[in-house]
């Protein structure tokens, strides 16, 4: 770390300038949130059936009596032994906030293509309790553009055509979230986000953005690990 020191007055002056930018960002975020709410809702007619701890359940069942449902597309492929490290970091942010979401009429569920027994075993290992269901037997992940195979290549991701560079990574799983509303007994798709469109969901990034070295990443979040492997990584 090699940062130019300054006086308290210099810091105060610079901080006031930064505060105005932060306020501007807050106002823009508020306006963007309102614009997000104005997106049209799309009726979901597909009959997705998920493998869950409570047996087969439909997308409507995942609302669990609430009017809103947030689905996190957790990267965990059918042949994987562990969940994605970055998704696992997000998983560490869920259980406590989920209590507040549920009391505000919002259900939260993680969905992955791995078999249910793998998901539940990994959830136990990580000490989580949030609902996690398998979409292996349906097209949910493919329809919401977060999974691909050799037979079913991904043509679009994050609302853009898949590039040759992305194709070089091969088929597999990608991160995303999709949001749904229940209206008059009908499920509607209201929102989806992918890649860095979900940055704000990682509380750890919000803290790092205010730390002296920021995120301190070299183009990726490769430093991020499953929380039970940090000790072995530095041993």
CA distance 135 to 52: 9
pLDDT (tens digit per residue) in 118-160: 999 999 999 999 999 999 999 999 999 999 998 998 888 998 9
- Asked if 51 contacts 61 with a C-beta cutoff of 8 angstroms, the reply is no
Mean pLDDT score, 65-69: 98
Of the listed ranges 97-111, 124-138, 153-167, 219-233, the least confidently predicted one is 219-233
Q: Is 191 a residue whose pLDDT tops 70?
A: yes
Q: What's the distance, CA 134 to chain centroid?
A: 16
CATH code 3.40.50.300 for 42-200: no
* Domain residue extents for the chain: 8-38, 42-200
Report the pLDDT value the prediction gives residue 221, as an integer from 0 to 100: 66
When comparing pLDDT for 168 and 71, which is higher?
A: 71
Mean pLDDT of the chain: 93
189: pLDDT strictly greater than 80? yes
Give the predicted TM-score (pTM) of the model.
Answer: 0.92
Phi, psi dihedral angles at 167 (to 5 degrees)? -65, -25
């Amino acid at each position: 770390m090699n940062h130019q020191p300054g006086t308290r007055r210099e810091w105060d002056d610079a901080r006031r300038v930064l505060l105005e930018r932060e306020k501007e960002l807050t106002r823009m975020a508020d306006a963007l949130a309102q614009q997000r709410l104005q997106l049209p809702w799309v009726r979901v007619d597909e009959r997705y059936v998920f493998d869950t701890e409570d047996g087969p359940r439909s997308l409507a069942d995942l609302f669990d009596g609430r009017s809103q449902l947030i689905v996190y597309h957790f990267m965990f492929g059918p042949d994987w032994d562990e969940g994605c490290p970055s998704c696992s970091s997000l998983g560490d942010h869920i259980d406590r906030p989920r209590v507040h979401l549920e009391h505000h009429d919002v259900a939260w569920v993680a969905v992955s293509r791995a078999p249910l027994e793998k998901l539940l075993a990994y959830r136990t290992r990580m000490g989580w309790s949030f609902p996690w269901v398998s979409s292996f037997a349906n097209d949910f992940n493919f329809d919401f553009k977060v999974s691909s195979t050799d037979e079913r290549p991904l043509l679009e991701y994050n609302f853009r055509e898949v590039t040759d560079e992305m194709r070089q990574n091969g088929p597999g799983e990608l991160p995303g979230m999709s949001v749904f509303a229940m209206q008059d007994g009908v499920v509607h798709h209201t929102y989806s986000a992918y890649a860095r469109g979900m940055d704000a969901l990682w509380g750890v990034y919000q803290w790092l953005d205010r730390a002296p070295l920021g995120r301190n990443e070299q183009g990726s979040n490769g430093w991020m690990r499953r929380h039970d492997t940090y000790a072995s990584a530095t041993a």
